[in-house]
Amino acid sequence: MLGQMMQQPLLISSLLVHAERHHGEQEVVSRRVEGDIHRETYREMAARSRRMAKALGALGVKFGDRVATLAWNGHRHMELYYAVSGSGAVLHTLNPRLHPDQIVYIADHAEDQVLCFDMTFWPLIQAVAGRTKTVKHWVAMTARAHMPADAAKVPGVLCYEDLLEAQDDAFAWPSFDENTASSLCYTSGTTGNPKGVLYSHRSTVLHTFAIALPDSLSVSATDCILPVVPMFHVNAWGLPYAACMAGAKLVFPGPGLDGKSLYELFEAERVTVSAGVPTVWQALLAHVEANGLKFSTMRRTVIGGSACPPAMLRKFGDEHDVRVLHAWGMTEMSPVGTVGTFKPKHHALDAEGRYAVMAKQGRAVYGVDMKIVDERGAELPWGGETSGDLLVRGPWIVQQYFKGEGGDPLQDGWFPTGDVAKIDTDGFMQITDRSKDVIKSGGEWIGSIDLENIAMAHPAVAMAACIAARHPKWDERPLLVVMKKPGATLTREELLGFFEGKIAKWWTPDDVVFVEAIPLGATGKMQKNKLRDQFRDHLLPGA
């Protein structure tokens, strides 16, 4: 017997329709490339999205066509999120921090028809425009007055605001199968070419419900959300969708991602919730500390993308009364898989105990199932002791990559994340490493993240990466690569002494090298593969 409820497809456009109808007065505030602070309501944004949907149709964009963006977090990017997906085309968010060759490769692979860009990226557009195979229109996301004087250098350049001007907002979002592709993101591809992950309307809406839940990212109409995480990094972790679902105020930082610009926007717009990778928070906290500032409205921040150092959890908690929600996920997972929110028993813990729980990557949100397995694929127990390869499954997890790239990625219906993790009896997962970053010493595994977290707790350390260095007896031993805070003094011996009592003695790194900077990838993660290349021949003391 079938249920007898309405068959309404889960479509991305329904999120905007809801925001317009039920939270029409709520604001979307953007610091723009033009230098101003722009304000619009959900009602205005929805009308502009409909006009943009018509404009894209007029440009010849058809159902299923890919429309790319190269843009910061801002209202026009948000309008495109809905205009493109809502009209049945596919939004492809390109990462502007990639090398132009990679951008050309990805745009060609995706067969992008239109590419919309912020003016910051005009030099990049000039570098790639003659090389891409499928892009017919280049849309500068600005008004006529800010169009580049040399716009004619790229044939087919259009002005976003002109396109809008030419349309009215009489447009009804089409209805179609909820399994239709909605958006496309490419993995960072540290090895080999990046692969496309093609989300559907259904997977996106389900993911939006899941991240909005109270024990997840807890998105509410009373929140003011500033996503620092870029809209080109897995759809800003889903916040542009969740904000519409909840009717929350949104604040977009545009290109102003330095500590000072962010802090000023947090305060001026009374931001309550934010989200970003640890490297961004480091810059913000450094600014706040150096100037003796406090957050007057911020209550929570989601930190993920790479492990949040416990020292950062404490700084936010003890000094700023900001609750860190440590979250884990992947491009292949839309991206959220786990969030570190407490169970009732954790409230009885002292501060020390609570921070220990928060340092883990958290528990699965409804919809994501996870398990850890040994090298033969046999499931390992949840006890917090054994670590194994982490596998996941769920309705917003990739089944296969775009165009079948790389073959079938699944193992018996589970997606292998490439992460190595432990899961405790409460279901809290803790990443110990990327499988390719694990240090194998004398047949035993040493988790590099634990060592980095300890190093980062040292007051003189700005950033630390732990990599495997070759060792004649043990195969591999940990080498710590450290970037000091500006003006700080620290010796190898002092830092190694700092590990005493904090970790099994044999886990202590064999050596420390100090560097000016640790290379970061396009989404703010440390590029350990580059460090491994750089220190391939590093001679460990006593080796």
Tell me the catalytic residues.
Answer: 187, 332, 440, 445
Q: Which residues, in sequence order, are bridge partners of residue 139?
A: 116, 158
Q: Give the count of residues interacting with ligand AMP (CB under 6 A).
A: 21
Distance CA 190, CA 197 (A): 15
Distance CA 380, CA 502 (A): 26
> Applying CB under 6 A, does 216 fall inside the site for ligand AMP?
no
Q: Are 514 and 538 in contact (CB under 8 A)?
A: no
**Within 13 Å of residue 126, how many CA atoms lie on the same side as its CB?**
9
Q: Are 121 and 97 in contact (CB under 8 A)?
A: no
> Angle of helix 239-246 relative to helix 201-212, nearest 10 degrees?
70
Contact residue for ligand AMP among 79, 118, 269, 419 (CB under 6 A): 419
> Applying CB under 6 A, does 251 fall inside the site for ligand AMP?
no
3-class DSSP assignment, residue 325: strand
> Which residue, 327 or 463, is less far from ligand AMP as judged by CB?
327
Residue-wise burial string across 242-272, b where 16 or more C-beta atoms lie within 10 A, e elsewhere: bbbbbbbbbbbbbbbbebebbbebbeebebb
In the complex, what is the shortest distance from the CB of residue 431 to ligand AMP, in angstroms, rounded to a whole number? Answer: 4
Instruction: Give the binding range for ligand AMP (CB under 6 A) out of 218-226, 324-332, 365-373, 450-458.
Output: 324-332
> Applying CB under 6 A, does 463 fall inside the site for ligand AMP?
no
Contact residue for ligand AMP among 187, 200, 282, 301 (CB under 6 A): 187
Instruction: Give the binding range for ligand AMP (CB under 6 A) out of 11-19, 108-116, 415-423, 476-484.
Output: 415-423
> Which residue, 188 or 272, is less far from ligand AMP as judged by CB?
188
Contact residue for ligand AMP among 434, 458, 477, 532 (CB under 6 A): 434
In the complex, what is the shortest distance from the CB of residue 277 to ligand AMP, in angstroms, rounded to a whole number? Answer: 8
> Which residue, 243 or 307, is less far from ligand AMP as judged by CB?
307
Angle at 114 between CA 108 and CA 119, to 5 degrees: 105
Instruction: Give the binding range for ligand AMP (CB under 6 A) out of 71-79, 146-154, 221-229, 321-329.
Output: 321-329
> Applying CB under 6 A, does 307 fall inside the site for ligand AMP?
yes
Q: Are 248 and 224 in contact (CB under 8 A)?
A: yes
Amino acid letter for position 84: V
- Binding residues among 344-403 for ligand AMP as defined by CB under 6 A: 361
Q: Which residue has the tokens 């993920």?
A: 304
Q: Are 169 and 51 in contact (CB under 8 A)?
A: yes
In the complex, what is the shortest distance from the CB of residue 204 to ligand AMP, in angstroms, rounded to a whole number? Answer: 16
Cis peptide before 96 (omega within 30 of 0): no
Instruction: Give the binding range for ligand AMP (CB under 6 A) out of 10-18, 128-136, 304-312, 459-467.
Output: 304-312
> Which residue, 246 or 313, is less far from ligand AMP as judged by CB?
313
Amino acid letter for position 431: I
DSSP-assigned letters across all residues of 31-44: E-TTSSEEEEEHHH
> Angle of helix 75-86 relative to helix 12-22, nearest 10 degrees?
120
Amino acid letter for position 152: A
> Which residue, 304 or 509, is less far from ligand AMP as judged by CB?
304
Contact residue for ligand AMP among 304, 309, 478, 524 (CB under 6 A): 304
Distance CA 244, CA 220 (A): 10
Q: Are 406 and 195 in contact (CB under 8 A)?
A: yes
> Applying CB under 6 A, does 227 fall inside the site for ligand AMP?
no
Instruction: Give the binding range for ligand AMP (CB under 6 A) out of 140-148, 305-313, 421-429, 459-467.
Output: 305-313
Determine the residue with CB nearest ligand AMP.
331
Q: In 3D, which of 168, 173, 188, 167 has the Cα closest to residue 86?
A: 173
Contact residue for ligand AMP among 306, 341, 387, 441 (CB under 6 A): 306
Contact residue for ligand AMP among 95, 113, 301, 523 (CB under 6 A): 523
> Applying CB under 6 A, does 194 fall inside the site for ligand AMP?
no
- Residues in contact with ligand AMP, shown as a per-residue x/- string from 328 to 347 under the rule CB under 6 A: xxxx---x------------
Residue 448 to residues 99, 318, 439, 464, Cα–Cα distance (Å): 28, 26, 7, 10
> Which residue, 419 or 510, is less far from ligand AMP as judged by CB?
419
In the complex, what is the shortest distance from the CB of residue 207 to ligand AMP, in angstroms, rounded to a whole number? Answer: 14
Site residues (CB under 6 A) for ligand AMP? 187-188, 234, 304-307, 326-331, 335, 361, 417-419, 431, 434, 523
